[in-house]
Amino acid sequence: MSEPKKLFIKTYGCQMNVYDSERMAEALGGQGYVETQSADDADMILLNTCHIREKAAEKVYSELGRFKGLKAEKPDLKIGVAGCVAQAEGEEIMRRQPLVDLVVGPQSYHRLPEMEAKTRQGAKALDTDFPEEDKFEQLKRRPKAKRGPTAFLTVQEGCDKFCAFCVVPYTRGAEVSRPVDRILSEARDLVERGVREITLLGQNVNAYHGAGPTGDMTLAQLIWQLDKIDGLERIRFTTSHPNDMGDDLIEAHGTCDKLMPYLHLPVQSGSDKILKRMNRSHTAESYLRLIERIRAARPDILMSGDFIVGFPEESEADFQATLDLVEEVRYGYAYSFKYSTRPGTPAAERPQVDPTEADDRLQRLQALITRDQRSVQDSMVGREVKVLFEKPGRLPGQMGGKSDYLHAVHVDDADVEVGDLRRVRIVDSAANSLRGVLA
């Protein structure tokens, strides 16, 4: 019996890419591949790329350059580029890096087995289509192997918002929602394999409108269907748009026990002028009133957000408006970035903010966010939370997991196993984690 071929996947970017990488590995598993953690051992290397960060394509080319020596040593080694950079660059990747054997976009990775077979015959393979068939249905069912207690599950892809800074509508396509029955089937399969918490993924997940038995369902209606699955203890979702935060989803945060008290709701700026230039279609005031409604439904909810500083034409007054919004919301988590151009997007053609000024603004914003994050985390000391334990800690007898609010928590107690969901009393707050004792 021949030895299995080895597959190395390097994943960049968001949780959806993590999910996609899992499915790519499953797709190639039918071709006799097993995953390896080392590129040196691989018979195939896949880079599953993200196009959100600055100079994303150049970083991919740099990574590919590191494989030249490996390809020379192993002529049969196949190298592929997948994901959003693959979608954006297409044939250019093969032109600039001839060592690449296949390029596949994020909507076509179910075709990987056929593409891999083509490369084994000495040909190049390129597929950056937006095919009509459902890629999720084309993939083989997940094997029944045991897995960790948390999992991602993609329910929606693409975006119709066309924010002026974003390439997602061009790399992931228009909004598409998976049918309810297929999501529920995949969720049950995950639970059978040991999963107790599922995070629903989408580029604009709360725009979900998947086909159900009596018509399209909203994300809230889908969550209530998932709530009925025995053994599924926790539900989360990301990433959301303020304009799609419907009344039923706000209500679900207050009434669905399995829906965790954590919400990532990007605002990007506190300036109405900049929000309009970003094509965000909401105002700072409408966002703040939305937060009020969400907190009225679930007072203890932990809010998370995204911010871009140094967006074209942002003034100091515009930036101060962002600081004011952060002061009012007091985020438990927030992610902030300096604006960087994306060729082909409207903002790329506008007058740019001085990089030194943008750096200064980013540092000031991050200092404020860090202060609030630490304050929210410190306020957990003395409280009891539920922790889903995911892995052993760094010290003997220590176990780590995530609280309802997504804080990292560890306990020094050997009487805990991976997958346990236990009540924990928080006794200390460190820089990026909490320490607790079993309640």
Residue positions forming the annotated binding site for [4Fe-4S] cluster: 14, 50, 84, 159, 163, 166
Tokens of 360: 């200064």
Give dist(CA 154, CA 242) in Å, integer.
20
Give 136: exposed, middle or buried? Use CB within 10 Å, 0-12, 13-18, 19+: middle
* Strand order across the beta sheet in which 302-309 lies: 262-264, 302-309, 333-338
H/E run at residue 117: helix 112-120
Annotated binding site: 14, 50, 84, 159, 163, 166
H/E run at residue 170: helix 168-171
Give dist(CA 242, CA 203) in Å, integer.
13
Give dist(CA 296, CA 333) in Å, integer.
19
Cβ atoms of residues 117 and 80 within 8 Å: no
Give dist(CA 439, CA 436) in Å, integer.
9
Tokens of 188: 């049950």
CA atoms within 13 A on the CB side of 439: 13
What is the 3-state secondary structure of 14-77? CHHHHHHHHHHHHHHHCCCEEECCCHHHCCEEEEEECCCCCCHHHHHHHHHHCCHHHHHHCCCC
Main-chain phi, psi angles of 86, to 5 degrees = -60, -45
